[in-house]
Amino acid sequence: MGASSEVPAARNAVRVLSYLAAQAGPSPAAAIARGLDLPRSSVYHLLAVLTEEGFVTHLAEERRYGLGLAALGLGSAYARQAPLTRLARPIIARLVDATRENAHLAVLHGREVLYLVEDRAPGRPTLVSDVDVRLPSHLTASGRAILAGLPASHVRALFPSTAAFADRTGTGPRSLRELRELLRAVRQRGYATEDGEVTPGLASVARAAVDHTGRPVAGIAVTFLADGVSPERRGELAAAVGRATGELSRRLGARVE
């Protein structure tokens, strides 16, 4: 097997692991194939290899597959190294200095976003999005920015039913159709927003940083008091966030203008 044929297989193996990581529990091979739009035979082959290497566990009695101990080892190694946090922290600090607003960095963790960096501007309101806090991704600006860059099949796997749509303030998408419409607007606008859907009175703008493959890996957001912030000012904040995500993307190996 040549190198050119190995690359798609490697990418699909990563997609299988990402799919399993997004689920609440182990999944049947058929569901994985359907969620990723891959041939079932290919999925079985990938699962067999990943099982041999310890990244996937086969629950034979249940006919399901879940993440293995090797995947846990990767997570522990990432927690020790924290490369994304190290790269992003000075960028977030400069963003706060430039905007005089609170800013943070979050990554997708299942259907939630996990906050890795939080930088507060002097005199600005207290936020619920502290480091290590998790919030529903479909309600946060940073989560929406990340979701807007994912394949439709990945979003569908994360939100398979209306039960997946958590609620905080009575607003926000409550179905996959509504979420898809919202994400379409994010792509058209170029950045994500939320207004009172996490905390009443506070709003955010966010963009996603991408890696060398163009895949969104983190969202950077600025949060501010919604009242008194004009559309023009929100656009300025979104532009500042865009410069920050562009810098982080370049540090992650992406080619951005």
Q: What is residue 70's predicted lDDT score, i.e. its pLDDT?
A: 84
- What does the domain layout of the chain look like in residue ranges? 3-74, 82-251
pLDDT digits (tens, 9 = 90+) for 64-80: 999 888 887 776 566 55
Percent over 70 (pLDDT), the chain? 91
Mean pLDDT calculated for residue range 7-29: 88
Mean pLDDT calculated for residue range 15-34: 91
Q: Look up the pTM and report it.
A: 0.71
Residue 36 amino acid letter = L
Per-residue confidence band for 2, with pLDDT thresholds at 50, 70 and 90 = very low
Closest CA to 134 of 104, 159, 94, 162: 104
Question: Which CATH superfamily does the domain covering 82-251 fall into?
Answer: GAF domain (3.30.450.40)
* Fold category of 3-74 in CATH: Arc Repressor Mutant, subunit A (1.10.10)
pLDDT above 60 for 204: yes
Mean pLDDT calculated for residue range 110-123: 89
Provide the b/e sequence for 180-219 (b: ≥16 CB within 10 Å): bebbeebeeeebbbbbebbbeebbbbbbbbbeeeebbbbb
Which residues make beta-bridge pairs with 79? Answer: none
Mean pLDDT calculated for residue range 88-110: 94
